[in-house]
């Protein structure tokens, strides 16, 4: 039996699906949020599945490029979250969210079909938007990290 590094599509997985999410900061310290029909038109962060044969950071960079056209750097792990059959997603799924803080030098975003609009705003202001609770936790973790680094 030969080993293959072809991507595995996990649409009907019987196991939790690992994902990588990016809380992207621009040079002004604003964060990028995407409004997504997949999350009932709530704002969320770019990200997606880690494909077989990819590292988590490779998946993060690929997903960010696919969903926003942005290149990122200074990637740092922020938190993990369990997403177990939550109604905020359009499909019944069990995800393991691995969320990262990162930076970009460009604020010109090219969204793909997964998002309907985007916004750059200060992290504290993001909590006033209609965002999913997982994005809220990631934003709160970033705000707490910034405060502790001062």
Instruction: Specify whether the CB–CB gap between 139 and 127 falls below 8 A.
Output: yes
Q: In the prediction, which pLDDT does 141 show? A: 97
| Candidates 3.30.1950.10, 1.10.10.10, 3.90.79.10, 3.40.50.300; CATH matching 17-148 | 3.90.79.10
Q: In the prediction, which pLDDT does 146 show? A: 87
Q: Give ∠ CA 102-87-30 in degrees, rounded to 5.
A: 25
Q: In the prediction, which pLDDT does 37 show? A: 80
Question: Could you state, in order of their start, the residue ranges of all structural domains in the chain?
Answer: 17-148
Give the contacts of 46 (CB within 8 A, at least 6 positions apart): 21, 22, 24, 32, 34, 63, 64, 67, 68, 115
- Looking only at the bridges linking them, the beta strands covering 94-103 and 17-25 are parallel
Mean pLDDT, consecutive 10-residue segments, the chain of 150 residues?
49 78 97 88 93 96 97 98 69 81 94 91 96 94 89
What gap in Å lies between CA 43 and CA 130, rounded to an integer? 6
């Amino acid at each position: 039996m030969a080993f293959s590094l072809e991507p595995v599509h996990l649409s009907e997985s019987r196991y939790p699906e690992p994902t990588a999410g990016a809380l992207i900061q621009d040079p002004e310290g604003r964060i990028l949020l995407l409004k997504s029909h997949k999350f009932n038109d709530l704002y969320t962060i770019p990200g997606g599945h880690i494909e077989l044969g990819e590292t988590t950071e490779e998946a993060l960079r690929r997903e960010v490029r696919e969903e926003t056209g942005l290149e990122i750097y200074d990637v740092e792990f922020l938190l993990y979250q369990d997403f177990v059959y939550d109604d905020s997603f359009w499909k019944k799924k069990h995800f393991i969210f691995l969320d990262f803080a990162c930076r970009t030098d460009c604020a010109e975003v090219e969204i793909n079909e997964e998002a309907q609009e985007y916004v750059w705003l200060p992290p504290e202001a993001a909590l006033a938007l209609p965002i999913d609770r997982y994005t809220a936790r990631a934003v709160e973790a970033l705000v707490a990290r910034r405060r502790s680094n001062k």
